[in-house]
Chains A and B, each alone.
Chain A
Amino acid sequence: MRQAVAWTRFDERGVSGVTPFLQMSGISKRFGGTQALRAVDLTAESGEVHAIVGENGAGKSTLSRILTGAVQSDAGQIRLGGEPQAITSPLRGQQLGIRMVAQHANLVPNLSVTENVLLGAMPAGRFGLWIDWQSAHDRVGQILERIGFEGIDVRQPVAQLSAAQRQVVEIAKAVAVKPKILIMDEPSAVLAQEDLTKLFALIRRLREENVLIFYISHRLDELYVIADRVTVLKDGALVGTVDPRHIRRDELIRLMVGRPLQDIFPHRDSKPGRELLSLHGLGRAGSFKNVSLSVAEGEIVGLYGLVGSGRTEVARCVFGADRPETGEIRVMGRPLRPRSPRDALRAGVAMLTEDRIGDGLVLPLSVRDNVSLASFPAMSRGGMLDRRRQSALVGAKVRELDVRPPDIEQLVGKLSGGNQQKVVLAKWLLTDARVLLLDEPTRGVDIAAKKEIYATIADLAARGMGILLISSELPEILGMCDRTLVMREGRLVGAFTRAEATEEKILSSAAGAAEASHAD
């Protein structure tokens, strides 16, 4: 490859002559019909933060799973400190000091934080007959404190924690015993800025303690903050390893995607029309208070806030998934009191939820079924589905959003994250909603798919839809929104027009002006 020559010179450690700590050579893996990895050669050193980037399906997760022993490679060799190792099981991986923080927290929901962190290694009391709960709780409290995330009640069942807190427990579990290699798969996906700052502090500390950290992320900005080296994977093959100090963001994207990407965000000329959605003093105990906002025809309004700031809860109330206790919702001037999502949909409000696996899709069913789910009345007559009409409606949306493959009988469980998200979007677009609530619409989606989703959102706004965009990603908020509202601790604390909005202003507003801080 032409570019490859140019970067090898930044790969200083690899040419130092000393045996690298980790050497993976010729790693290949095939799953059924897909070649997930093609002869990947990768070396990494103790005490470095080694980022792995690539689009969804590039082989990042497979590579990490091979390293942890969760799956076995078809070919290739792994050397640790020069010694060949066969990592035949996750247990073997753990014995070698390899731990992974999985993307979807791998926790037992009904057990306490303590039990989850110490699973299988609970301290025994006298005679080893019972669990010494006090010292177990103490130990986990200390671990949380050590990694900088105190403030989680260790006695609480994991099911009661927020997504961000669960991610913290997952991290605590991985570093309870100091690992030699720590793999973090999208650890920041559920963390807002404040927690991210703590995470980076933890990663730096581990690096100083000579841990090798593999950091997998879709958020390229983070790599520039935290990574020492970046390895790019594409279609299961290694494109190269680069020094982030010497490569621009757009170059990195080009390497990942394989073609130059223009500006990811579409150009928009917004001319907001009449008001579609308005909230007046909406409140729900324990979630948010006195929220008033409006979204007009053709307008994209951003709603930013840290995890737990109440932004999702506001949207859920508008959509009828939860019920507000005070205040009023108006859609096109008419009051709406949704008792269920069905009421909201009838009034023309649809919501794309943040957890597409948990409540956006029915994985074992086809694209056809998933897209149809909210629009059965429009495609049936006398209680029977009009299959032809259904195919036409679903097919049109699938083509419009460019779901790949464009096969409506495909099971959604087999689609990539980006295409799954397009299926969810297609479902809501088919309902003829006028107001679209989008909660983290591009979470866990690769750049190419992100760009398409942004284009779709812009297009919908251009066609007169009103869009409320909830996001943890500042570039997304800044790149897409006509206005941005900021929530903190259940209240609206800031409002910025497109011209006013900057990263610093939004962040300090969300974190509270006094403790305004940056990720670095």
Chain B
Amino acid sequence: MQTEGSAGRLGRWWFAGGEPRLSALDLSLIAGFLALLLAGAWFAEAFFTERNMSNLMRQVVANGLISLGMLLVILTGGIDLSVGSVVALGGVLFAGITDQLGIGPALAVAIAAGGAAGLVNGVVIARFKLQSFIITLATMGIVRGVVYLYTEVPLSPSHSGFRDLGATLIGLVPLSMIIMLGCYALVWFYLNRTPAGRATVAIGGNEETVRLAGVSVQRTVVAAYMLSGALSALSGAILVSRLGIAQPSLGIAYELDAIAACVIGGAALGGGAGSVGGTLFGVFTLGVINNLLNLVGVKSFYQDIVKGAVIILAVLLVATKRGNK
């Protein structure tokens, strides 16, 4: 249309397809995030230090990767509650075989194991048309059990490079953050520039339409769960590398933060809405809140309360703005 300005065109190009254009809603969420950063500078002197910024980036990577996988599943209209257990699976496997196989192969095995867990989720859910909530709740328990079968004690490999993945800094930026952003770029590309990705977005909007269009709904949904599993396992490997130790109890309740990040970023449970950019934004919002409350020295249960309140606020904001349109 003639009336459209060049800024509109740019936004349209950038967010083409399922990605929303920058709206009043996005702007108000961004404003909220900036206010959070200002609050950080005001209340905690240590917030804007180089050390803390590096720390913050390292801390958000774990949830960042899980949330990215969760987004894919939420876009199809499902939910993946098993991510926390898969984080533990990826973590203990990576720690358990690094000494024998070396970093690279161990990482590949861990990611493959996560992908396999996702494959099971996806096939059961898509093939038999079962509810993702129930199935992933069940696999959450199964995978956790498998993790404990593998090791009941924390693993801490002696391989000299074990901590590289989680601890290396390139300048101020952690290596893990670069990996995470790379994954975000890949998933963005997948969702916006591949047939399978467009089908993923479309399935959440109207599954029957996609089926009647001759697209394999099953294959697309299975891919989403596999990616979720693989990303969660990668997250687990990076996490144990950062911590230097792999606990079999790792990742409990991580699905909550991942779902929260997606929702703060505008994803709709049930599918049909959600974006990679928004999720990244949600991940950083949650990360900053955690980091700030730690710096200020607030007890952890207060942190949970604050986090919960922020989630409700963000969802409320999204709902009211959408309703006004």
Residues of A within 8 A of B (CB): 32, 319, 321, 340-342, 344-346, 351, 353, 358-366, 368-369, 372-374, 376-377, 379-380, 383-385, 387, 405, 407, 409, 427, 431
CB proximity of A180 to chain B, nearest CB, Å: 31
| B42-85 contact mask (Cβ, 8 Å, vs A): 1 or 0 | 00000000000000000000000000000000000000000000
Contacts A342-B214, A373-B213 aside, 5 further interface pairs with beta carbons under 8 A come to: A359-B208, A361-B209, A364-B272, A369-B198, A373-B210
Residue of B nearest to A385 (CB): B193
Tell me the complex Cα distance, A269–B206, Å.
39
Check A376 against B198 for contact (C-beta < 8 Å). yes
Check A362 against B202 for contact (C-beta < 8 Å). yes
Interface residues of B in 199-228 (CB under 8 A from A): 199, 201-202, 205-206, 208-216
> Taking each of A319, A346, A383, which has the highest tally of chain B beta carbons within 10 Å of its own beta carbon?
A383
Q: Which residues of B contact A32 (CB under 8 A)?
A: 325
Q: Which of B10-18, B246-254, B294-302 contacts A (4 or more CB under 8 A)?
A: B10-18
Q: Does B231 contact A (CB under 8 A)?
A: no
CB proximity of B275 to chain A, nearest CB, Å: 12
Tell me the complex Cα distance, A372–B208, Å.
15
Tell whether A373 pairs with B202 under 8 Å between CB atoms, given A340-B214, A364-B273, A383-B194. Answer: yes
- Shortest beta-carbon contacts, A-B, top 4: A376-B195, A362-B205, A342-B214, A374-B213
Check B18 against A369 for contact (C-beta < 8 Å). yes
CB proximity of A434 to chain B, nearest CB, Å: 15
Q: Which residues of A contact B177 (CB under 8 A)?
A: none
Contact among B1, B18, B202, B209 with A359 in the assembled complex (CB-CB below 8 Å): B209
Check B212 against A361 for contact (C-beta < 8 Å). no
Tell me the complex Cα distance, A74–B202, Å.
36
Check B214 against A341 for contact (C-beta < 8 Å). yes
Contact among A342, A361, A380, A387 with B206 in the assembled complex (CB-CB below 8 Å): A361
Contact among B193, B201, B208 with A365 in the assembled complex (CB-CB below 8 Å): B201
Sample 25 A-B pairs with CB under 8 A, ordered by A number: A32-B325, A319-B212, A341-B211, A341-B214, A344-B214, A345-B213, A353-B212, A359-B212, A360-B209, A360-B212, A363-B206, A364-B18, A365-B17, A365-B18, A366-B17, A373-B198, A373-B213, A374-B214, A374-B215, A376-B199, A380-B195, A383-B195, A383-B196, A427-B213, A431-B214
CB proximity of A149 to chain B, nearest CB, Å: 29
Contact among B193, B209, B325 with A362 in the assembled complex (CB-CB below 8 Å): B209
Q: Which residues of A contact B210 (CB under 8 A)?
A: 362, 373
Check B209 against A409 for contact (C-beta < 8 Å). no
CB proximity of B237 to chain A, nearest CB, Å: 26
Q: Which residues of A contact B214 (CB under 8 A)?
A: 340-342, 344-346, 374, 431
Tell me the complex Cα distance, A276–B199, Å.
31
Q: Which residues of A contact B205 (CB under 8 A)?
A: 362-365
Check B208 against A358 for contact (C-beta < 8 Å). yes
Tell whether A369 pairs with B216 under 8 Å between CB atoms, given A407-B1, A409-B16. Answer: no
Check A365 against B202 for contact (C-beta < 8 Å). yes
Q: Which residues of A contact B199 (CB under 8 A)?
A: 373, 376
Tell whether A385 pairs with B212 under 8 Å between CB atoms, given A363-B205, A364-B273, A365-B205. Answer: no
Check B195 against A368 for contact (C-beta < 8 Å). no
Tell whether A359 pairs with B195 under 8 Å between CB atoms, given A353-B212, A376-B215. Answer: no
Tell me the complex Cα distance, A32–B324, Å.
9
Tell me the complex Cα distance, A485–B214, Å.
28
Residue of A nearest to B202 (CB): A362
CB proximity of B195 to chain A, nearest CB, Å: 3
Tell whether A372 pairs with B272 under 8 Å between CB atoms, given A340-B214, A365-B205. Answer: no
CB proximity of B200 to chain A, nearest CB, Å: 11
Contact among B1, B195, B212 with A341 in the assembled complex (CB-CB below 8 Å): B212
Q: Which residues of A contact B272 (CB under 8 A)?
A: 364
Q: Which residues of A contact B325 (CB under 8 A)?
A: 32
Tell whether A321 pairs with B196 under 8 Å between CB atoms, given A362-B202, A365-B201, A373-B202. Answer: no
Q: Which residues of B contact A383 (CB under 8 A)?
A: 194-196
Check B215 against A373 for contact (C-beta < 8 Å). yes
Check A369 against B193 for contact (C-beta < 8 Å). no
Check B198 against A359 for contact (C-beta < 8 Å). no
Tell me the complex Cα distance, A365–B193, Å.
14
> Taking each of B12, B199, B213, B273, which has the highest tally of chain A beta carbons within 10 Å of its own beta carbon?
B213
| B12-56 contact mask (Cβ, 8 Å, vs A): 1 or 0 | 100011100000000000000000000000000000000000000
Tell whether A373 pairs with B12 under 8 Å between CB atoms, given A380-B195, A383-B196. Answer: no
Check A369 against B206 for contact (C-beta < 8 Å). no
Check A342 against B194 for contact (C-beta < 8 Å). no
Contact among A351, A368, A379 with B212 in the assembled complex (CB-CB below 8 Å): A351
Q: Which residues of B contact A380 (CB under 8 A)?
A: 194-195
Check B209 against A373 for contact (C-beta < 8 Å). yes
Q: Which residues of B contact A346 (CB under 8 A)?
A: 214
Check B198 against A321 for contact (C-beta < 8 Å). no
CB proximity of A332 to chain B, nearest CB, Å: 18
Tell me the complex Cα distance, A383–B12, Å.
23
Tell me the complex Cα distance, A144–B198, Å.
46
Check B201 against A409 for contact (C-beta < 8 Å). no
CB proximity of A422 to chain B, nearest CB, Å: 16
Tell me the complex Cα distance, A405–B1, Å.
8
Residue of A nearest to B216 (CB): A342
Tell me the complex Cα distance, A368–B210, Å.
14
Check A359 against B206 for contact (C-beta < 8 Å). yes
Tell me the complex Cα distance, A360–B1, Å.
26
Check B213 against A385 for contact (C-beta < 8 Å). no
Residue of A nearest to B272 (CB): A364
CB proximity of B278 to chain A, nearest CB, Å: 14
Q: Which residues of A contact B198 (CB under 8 A)?
A: 369, 372-373, 376, 385
Tell me the complex Cα distance, A420–B196, Å.
23
Q: Which residues of B contact A362 (CB under 8 A)?
A: 202, 205-206, 209-210
Q: Which residues of A contact B1 (CB under 8 A)?
A: 405, 407
Check B194 against A384 for contact (C-beta < 8 Å). yes
Check B194 against A385 for contact (C-beta < 8 Å). yes
CB proximity of A448 to chain B, nearest CB, Å: 20
Contact among A321, A358, A377, A409 with B12 in the assembled complex (CB-CB below 8 Å): A409
Q: Which residues of A contact B273 (CB under 8 A)?
A: 364
Tell me the complex Cα distance, A145–B209, Å.
37
Q: Which residues of A contact B12 (CB under 8 A)?
A: 409
Tell whether A369 pairs with B17 under 8 Å between CB atoms, given A341-B214, A362-B202. Answer: yes
CB proximity of A262 to chain B, nearest CB, Å: 30
Q: Which residues of B contact A340 (CB under 8 A)?
A: 211, 214
Interface residues of B in 155-209 (CB under 8 A from A): 193-196, 198-199, 201-202, 205-206, 208-209
| B71-112 contact mask (Cβ, 8 Å, vs A): 1 or 0 | 000000000000000000000000000000000000000000
> Taking each of B18, B210, B215, B325, which has the highest tally of chain A beta carbons within 10 Å of its own beta carbon?
B215
Tell me the complex Cα distance, A304–B103, Å.
68
Q: Which residues of A contact B209 (CB under 8 A)?
A: 359-362, 373
Contact among B18, B195, B215 with A385 in the assembled complex (CB-CB below 8 Å): B195
